[in-house]
Structure 1
């Protein structure tokens, strides 16, 4: 049975969320899923079922300007992150595993930077890398979607058309402006994540939005980060769900080493 859609306005903007309890592991930290730009929380339905079947509670949100959440006068990324922190605070969640795609992945890192201790683990799927001072604006090459990608995208739109219909297109310009502007503050705060195990999923085919050079810089800043390449474009959880589950589920289930126990050594691999 699908969980009801509830709302809360932690910063004056109404944010929609769904919380589904598995009932089998009440002491386990919930898994928070955060969608990318232009989507909504329903993009995670299949992944959420897998996580619930493993005994974990699930929380999904619609970011401001998306899905059933309200539109806003500000679409600063830090405000988006604070919205989701506010949802966690409203629910009394002191620690969560966070799985984010694209803008949702960037939101996850901002949450971990702004609220130390909230993120137990981070799964970052196809996060557009913030720029450093002096980096050129990113150029995303034109990409003709493969037939399988079109099929998965069409299926997702049929199952949940609200994500496309409700999206505030006024968000696009401020979001792209922020993606194209240097963000030295994000890089300066990145070492705060060294105590948090991180799994970074990147597509290895055209359509990926991850800059390999900047990803390498992030991996140098977070020596324990696990980077997993998947033969896919930008939406791994949608187009390569079996690969997504194979990488993410063991990662979420693994025990967490204490922050003072040394580096969380994880291999860098390409599947």
Structure 2
């Protein structure tokens, strides 16, 4: 199973859930381009991310795999399944739908990161305080700060390619599927009941593109059901498809 993280995340977000899934699958958690330890490049859209996954699979000698993607990773996974169904054993999409998004909050988060003076920064906790004017949610401020790292000289820098991701944000929010895109293979959507990323009104468009889709809603979860309800998430992913 290949696990694809969300925007501004990394494979590290899946360490605990990945270990649980590893009881059922041989799990590879990958860093998307411009995230984590992957290369920084100017091109950033879903087509190139799908090409990255196919190239990685080819390099590993993997003809097929189960693909599990969260948020941005879920959009990548959906496009991969529709355009390269022969490479996808089964598809798991986590709290995202095949539709356009526009989140004002994302603009505030990216502004907060862009405005951060790394030269005067002394700690991640200080960064979280500086984010507060634009990012009201404490959990999100902590999440953003996970993308900061120090070099050997003690200088802070971004792990993510912040300029490329900022420029690509409108593309990342758009639906990457066309009306003709279909994947008929086994598909599971795991959605958070407290999340606004995928709602009951989206079920019809999900089934338009993924006619075999099983849609499961974890009532007490937000946008991160793999973290908010890890045991239930792992049960669903490992036992229902």
What TM-score do you get using the length of structure 1 for normalisation? Answer: 0.66
Show the 5 A alignment for 1:1-271.
Answer: 31-54=1-24, 56-131=25-100, 138=102, 150=139, 165-181=158-174, 183=176, 185-189=177-181, 191=182, 193-194=183-184, 196-205=185-194, 207-230=195-218, 231-251=220-240, 254=241
Q: Describe the shift of the 1:174–1:197 C-alpha distance in structure 2 as closer, same or farther (beyond 3 A).
A: farther
The structure richer in helix per residue is 2
Cα distance in 2 for partners of 1:225, 1:182 equals 18
Cα distance in 2 for partners of 1:174, 1:214 equals 27
Instruction: Give the drift of 1:129.
Output: 2.9
Instruction: Give the drift of 1:91.
Output: 0.5
Cα distance in 2 for partners of 1:232, 1:34 equals 19
Cα distance in 1 for partners of 2:170, 2:193 equals 25
Deviation per residue, 1:17-43 (Å, 9 max, x gap) = xxxxxxxxxxxxxx1111111111111
**Unaligned residue ranges in structure 1 (runs of 5+):** 1-30, 132-136, 255-271
Cα distance in 1 for partners of 2:209, 2:48 equals 25
Instruction: Give the drift of 1:139.
Output: 5.0
Q: Which SS does the other structure have where 2:171 is aligned?
A: helix
RCO higher in structure (CA 8 A, sep ≥6): 2
Which residue matches 1:262? none
Which residue matches 1:4? none
Deviation per residue, 1:86-136 (Å, 9 max, x gap) = 1001001001001110010111111122222111111100124334xxxxx
Cα distance in 2 for partners of 1:182, 1:115 equals 18
**Unaligned residue ranges in structure 2 (runs of 5+):** 107-134, 150-156
Equivalent pair of 2:45/2:172 in contact (CA under 8 Å): no
Q: Describe the shift of the 1:139–1:51 C-alpha distance in structure 2 as closer, same or farther (beyond 3 A).
A: closer
Cα distance in 2 for partners of 1:64, 1:108 equals 14
Deviation per residue, 1:195-254 (Å, 9 max, x gap) = x1110111121x432254334222244332111111221111112111211211103xx5
Equivalent pair of 1:203/1:232 in contact (CA under 8 Å): yes
Q: Describe the shift of the 1:161–1:96 C-alpha distance in structure 2 as closer, same or farther (beyond 3 A).
A: farther
Equivalent pair of 1:202/1:208 in contact (CA under 8 Å): no
Equivalent pair of 1:76/1:174 in contact (CA under 8 Å): no
Cα distance in 1 for partners of 2:142, 2:97 equals 23
